[in-house]
Structure 1
């Protein structure tokens, strides 16, 4: 029995095969029932439109797409989308629930509350402001839309790269549900399901869903942890639920109330060392640490602690990645027939805590008492929409208000034990890095620059213990309008604009325990207000009912912020919003009686006041953190996606993305003597030039009564890319290819299915994130999951 599929994608080989095969197959099956691609409805323009009529570069993944690809959270969405990268646990945080998203080269490689993301996440129209807790479980999802390019008019701030528009399944008037069980390697056990219950016929319905996911960690610890166990990193322990109540008192009014909650209790993301350097020239602090702290213990910090292979680590610190995230929302949709009115009211709260071994070795080069982020937000949006001039004009205007309060606490220490060892040594008896030992004899007669002694102020140069608290109080106001006008039946114009006011106030408090609890930052404050205008203009031309082309010009912005990890008072500085202006041309078409779908886009973007984060050093070798506007650049690229129904039951899908970035201007860089500056040749992190994906689904009848086996294979490719703005080669990712497979048995009567799947069949080690710290002489990475196998049963009723 044939079923319709709606996957997406495009690659040159796939297109060539599809274009060659489709005409012949179409002729051979003229007498058969039509096999066509289904229409996909999206809400990228804040109203329901056909994907093929929407002048935006969109990858739309349906619930079936997500299931066939084995996608359980947002990380899997990126693998199926051209020019989209997603990772977690930036800056050595270990936070497996800290989302970092990049679309068309624009993103945010950090989680700190003093910096905003560049790709907005929206779930049922509600904006999620923070990276922590944003690796969403895709629980009872109707559709995920990846909108590429700035969405500053309709979606607002922090969408300069694009937006993820997620729609959950709505309650309906029919009783039914689904339950699914998955088991796999590493002790995987997933149990989930949903049920829809009509409470009052045609008036009131309730939908409830729940999920439990558990899996042992795939990162093997080679040494016992500090707590005496060997709990492997990167495990899974998630509980999630959602309830939605829909009330429809009249044909023109619907009220929807929704609540969701997610709880995670996991081991943190483990890191492994891939490079260690400890000479006075390369890492003066580490040379001193080896000499003063480790040598007396018969130890040394060197390449012996480089992990022997991927997914292994010498980490020993106790780690965790815990989160409690919940939210409620209310949507009122009233459409009396002239002007539609929609209100979206939402409140969300998160409490995220993580602790990781941030150097990947048993030495306490980088130690942490943990990171905690608490944030709550309120948002209110009003939309007014309608049609005019015999439906030639469609329009939407709106108002948006958003406020949040957040606190970020981080207790960290580097070079643990060094200051204590220096204080315990005789006065002026230890030579600084790069200085001959004879210069500072044990008699204490060395020059004033020598280290050692209980009261020697020089020792404090190596005090890297900080207990910091950051507070954010932010608010946003916006008014926006968007309209489309059909000049003729074939030619349309689009225009929109948004005026946004962004206000942020920051406060920072820091204590230095090794200096008698010196308050180094005593509730210092910084803040700013920004007014931003983000317009959009476009034109579309429909060649016929199946083909259209469009051009657009649009702007987006990512809010400004402050350096939230200042290592000196002069580094506690604000930075401006980054802005992006995009020029785009696209084509969307269905061919061969809707058996081939091809969507293309080409773009050029001017990227100004690019926000950057750097872990670097000054002339003394001391660690400093820079967060500032780095300069301006240009991004150009191409995207192609296609779906081809090659035969009954045989579907091919593919995607191809190309992105090329270059700096055109560098702003004066905040630094001190000894800091290596960026150059125009530096590349942005997580920006591969090429990304591609290819999938093939084939449903094979296995019995006369209609039972079938569905075979699925996926390939995805990425060219090489850097992980950090300094383009450190040791933590860069080489080009790679990954293959996945799935087989599903579908009985003739339906109602259930059995499946068996394997991801990363070739066991390819792909870097998920990395940190290079010159001051600490280490280069670390963490890898995406290795080969995973799982199987299960899915029951519908």
Structure 2
């Protein structure tokens, strides 16, 4: 971990050397950039952020969509360094790491619509984009915000607005692009748990206004805060005795490993070539290596059917577990499972912009993403090897998007096409031992290897137009056609690679396909009553493709599932009040959610009562309604207050009989109430500005998985967290020093919980422990 941090730091240092230019030029550019950034900062607090949600640059206040936009300055002030952090303060948005996925696959939800099972073969319900490049699988999508310009969070169906169909919404991350300004920055951070981080960027014109290179990168290393202990060492009087882990003793507090730490390195290079003013071509390459310890999972419940009379549950506020990630420990063939999480990505992209004339433009976005990840999951969090998974994903994704846009005094329009091609190889190991008697003899056992190839393609065409009926009244229309294809082939082998066992034999070699075609559309009306008030209403549809259930444990479970879809009604207003010192945006929505895709822990109609099951199926229909508000207030110069709030009310209106889902159940990852508030004030002090800031965010309880009511540990309690930061900038804005604290009051909480207690292959419940209080000190220098 330390070695990779040093290597990455050396790479960043090399990039910084490129900034060693004549000091007079540096100073002049720094002053010009500082003046521009001061303007942007002021605009950001007022909400005047330019977004491209409708294919052309518009102020947030002029865009008739529910959209939250966050600049890099505001994200930094809030101590937001990943899309998970951004989600904390965005209305109706929830992003949580899945507890059973090795830590690599987050679940992303907007307005109660997302992906309850974030495994790669299943489509995400919320689209994630970086510089307009769509990420088809969410492996490794806990994106750190590298060289951030802004984040746009679009709520509600976005099927007619570029990229792939996204029924719940879209999260779009935009990085800083090459400009003709010579300069850059370097920032170094040190913090709790030996956190060391360096990040920076350099903007280098090679040929004035023709060929420009921008290089950015970061390296981060942090120790784990959660301890994994050897049970026998920590409980020497427990009966029956369990063997010690080799080399472990009470001298080192019985520790066999840590969780919650790791290191990350990322480097990005972008080359802009502009042969003439009307043609701009940007080539980018990004490489990311994310090596993390296992997730900080804590056992909450254990079944007496397998625990051999031992208690593997640690104290309620202790950040410890007895997980060993060892499989078949009490058999003749034990093995070490994957006790870490590793993601490596390489992203190649090319964006071509051509201004054909002053009314017509063309854009092409081409990208290739290669992802290799592996992670382990110790379901029982004990040394008894009751349930263990090694999860490996190898993905190669190609996307191509083209757009032709035109404008006139009457209409702004865009037509385009999108192509998505994804090849996934899904090797891994599943080890399940159930039915231990008091003597420790196993009953039902599954132990097999997977190596499933998965092929997905999606082809679509879309059109979007805004008709200006008057200077104040606009009508927007959009339409999209999508053609999806998926092929899933199941490979099941015994651990020694020999022909598969009798139990799993009928599954090996099976191949199923899904084909689906879909039309989506959007109609919107907006009217500007005055320069300070915009009112809008829209109806939109969204779609998430079907597929084949990716985890058949027994024959008969390799079943297809159908697409799910959303019909969304939305209305709202965007306002600037009191001489633009108060900005208030409010949206109300009503959604009909059909053929909801959920992972089911029981399928008695298919495999019989008590049989292991992890079936993806269409569970029913629901209605979702709610409201969202965003408030920015600047009552006096220097003081800024930001607040957001949302309410999301989800209710099943119909459930399928064999799903086990009840009308009274909760859907996963939906917090009914969510709000945040933050305030900062700039003081003039000692030839500079001192800016303290404090932020509070709250979300009410939510469940993970369904049916929620049948799982007593399935509800994650609501939580409120406080972050604080104080920064100092000398006049000239070239330097900044900042002291930050996250989870300021050191609250113990669970980021999510998952209850396997009612599942035949589970009989456990675990919680993902949230990070404790952490301090950090950062120094930033602009060039």
Deviation at 1:737, TM superposition (A): 1.2
Residues 386 and 620 (structure 1 numbering): CA distance in 2 closer, same or farther, change over 3 Å? closer
Deviations 1:389-445 (A, max 9, x none): xx22100000111111001122021227969x99xx9xxxxxxxxxxxxxxxxxxxx
Q: 1:748 aligns with which of 731, 742, 749?
A: 731
Task: State how 1:146-545 maps to structure 2 within 5 Å.
Answer: 146-155=153-162, 157-223=164-230, 228=247, 230-278=256-304, 286=305, 289=306, 294=308, 300-302=309-311, 304-317=312-325, 319-337=339-357, 338-368=359-389, 370-388=390-408, 391-415=409-433, 462-513=444-495, 517-518=500-501, 519-545=505-531
Report the equivalent of 2:30: none
Report the equivalent of 1:448: none
Deviation at 1:503, TM superposition (A): 0.7
Residues 172 and 581 (structure 1 numbering): CA distance in 2 closer, same or farther, change over 3 Å? same
Matched, 1:41 2:50: yes
Structure 2's unaligned 5+ residue stretches are 1-33, 232-243, 248-254, 326-337
Report the equivalent of 1:69: 78
CA distance in 1, matches of 2:500, 2:615: 25
Deviation at 1:306, TM superposition (A): 4.2
Report the equivalent of 1:722: 703
Deviations 1:51-94 (A, max 9, x none): 1010111110101011111122111011120111101134x222
Deviation at 1:155, TM superposition (A): 3.3
TM-score by length of 1: 0.85
Structure 1's unaligned 5+ residue stretches are 10-35, 279-285, 295-299, 426-451, 453-458, 671-676
Return 647-656 or 316-325, whichever deviates more.
316-325
Report the equivalent of 2:676: 693
Q: Is the 8 A contact 1:119 1:159 kept in 2?
A: yes
**In the comparison of the two structures, how many residue pairs are matched?**
704
Report the equivalent of 1:649: 638
Q: 2:714 aligns with which of 731, 744, 753?
A: 731
Report the equivalent of 1:55: 64
Q: 2:626 aligns with which of 637, 649, 658?
A: 637
SS at match of 1:521: coil
Matched, 1:84 2:85: no
Matched, 1:93 2:76: no
SS at match of 2:74: helix
SS at match of 1:113: coil
Q: Is the 8 A contact 1:405 1:474 kept in 2?
A: yes
Deviation at 1:464, TM superposition (A): 1.9
Residues 520 and 787 (structure 1 numbering): CA distance in 2 closer, same or farther, change over 3 Å? farther
Q: CA RMSD in A?
A: 2.3
Deviation at 1:149, TM superposition (A): 0.4
Deviations 1:567-600 (A, max 9, x none): 2211111111110010000100112222111111
CA distance in 2, matches of 1:668, 1:242: 50
Deviations 1:511-532 (A, max 9, x none): 2459974234221011111001
Residues 583 and 79 (structure 1 numbering): CA distance in 2 closer, same or farther, change over 3 Å? same
Deviation at 1:158, TM superposition (A): 4.7
Q: Is the 8 A contact 2:280 2:353 kept in 1?
A: yes
Deviation at 1:7, TM superposition (A): 9.2
TM-score by length of 2: 0.86
SS at match of 1:499: strand
Deviation at 1:6, TM superposition (A): 5.5
